């Protein structure tokens, strides 16, 4: 079952001679529990695609479905609420709140939505990401790799339908990048989390279940979900029921 789907997705900027086709008819499916990497050179359209998938920008044409909902039709306020509840983001720059400690940063999206924190679930996420002894520290007291782990924990805390990662290791050295991506993959498998990651790093991309290549706003390879492998990769975490329901 796909949790993320696009239909003829287009994003154009400018007009006439200055028209830029950032996305030019993208059809994509991502299965629940799948870890997908989107690769492409600078200007290929991969970041634009991520923004469309996450509802951070509106398409010129086409539709985006997240967990069965056409987010292209949502008005701004409803889209904001949907993003907070259904989509987790991990950015290159961490985006942690400097005056909040690690635990407060992690549960912030849940509290902003007025929901009760699932303390057992959050504790498990914190343990898997190796942050147990750092929950009371401020972001300034953490290394770059530790801050990115907090950002991943925060993205997972609300049990989103999908997690979108935009160059999540861009500010990290190669060894820390491998560690962080390894943890991202482990948490994805542990919790049956669907992950779409944008990266220019081919080595990191190979850690994903599937690699999608995008050039000039169109997908050149990897668009179709590999359903058999996807089901296998997320089976253990999904046993006993989906936590996204």
State the average pLDDT over residues 214-237.
64
- Kindly tell me if the per-residue pLDDT of 57 is higher than 50: yes
Cα R_g (the chain), whole angstroms: 17
Helical segments of the chain, H only: 46-53, 76-86, 102-112, 119-128, 144-157, 174-191, 202-205, 227-238
pLDDT at 80: 92
Higher pLDDT, 240 or 47: 47
Q: What's the confidence (pLDDT) of residue 227?
A: 54
Please, which pLDDT band fits residue 15 given cuts at 50, 70 and 90?
A: confident
Q: Which residue has the tokens 């029921």?
A: 241
pLDDT in tens, 160-219: 999 999 988 888 888 888 888 888 899 889 898 999 999 988 888 998 999 999 999 999
3-state secondary structure of 65: strand
- pLDDT surpasses 90 at 38: yes
pTM equals 0.85
């Amino acid at each position: 079952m796909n949790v993320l789907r696009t239909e003829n997705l287009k994003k154009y900027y400018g007009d006439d001679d200055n028209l830029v086709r950032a996305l030019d008819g993208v059809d994509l499916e991502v299965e629940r529990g799948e870890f997908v990497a989107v690769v492409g050179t600078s200007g290929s359209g991969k970041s634009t695609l991520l923004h469309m998938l996450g509802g951070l920008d509106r398409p010129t044409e086409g539709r985006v479905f997240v967990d069965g909902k056409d987010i292209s039709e949502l008005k701004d306020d409803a889209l904001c609420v949907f993003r907070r509840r259904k989509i987790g983001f991990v950015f290159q720059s961490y985006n942690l709140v400097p005056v909040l400690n690690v635990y407060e940063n992690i549960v912030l999206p849940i509290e902003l939505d007025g929901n009760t924190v699932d303390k057992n679930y959050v504790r498990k996420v914190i343990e898997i990401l190796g942050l147990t002894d750092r929950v009371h520290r401020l972001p300034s007291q953490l290394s770059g790799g530790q801050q990115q782990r907090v950002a991943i924990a925060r993205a997972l805390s609300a049990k989103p339908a999908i997690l979108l990662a935009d160059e999540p290791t861009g500010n990290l050295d190669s060894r820390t990048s491998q560690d962080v991506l390894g943890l991202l993959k482990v948490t994805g498998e542990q919790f049956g989390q669907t992950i779409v990651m944008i990266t220019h790093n081919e080595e990191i991309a190979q850690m994903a279940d599937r690699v999608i290549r995008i050039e000039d706003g169109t997908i050149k390879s990897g668009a179709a979900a590999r359903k058999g492998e996807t089901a296998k990769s997320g089976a253990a975490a999904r046993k006993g029921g989906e936590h996204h329901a």
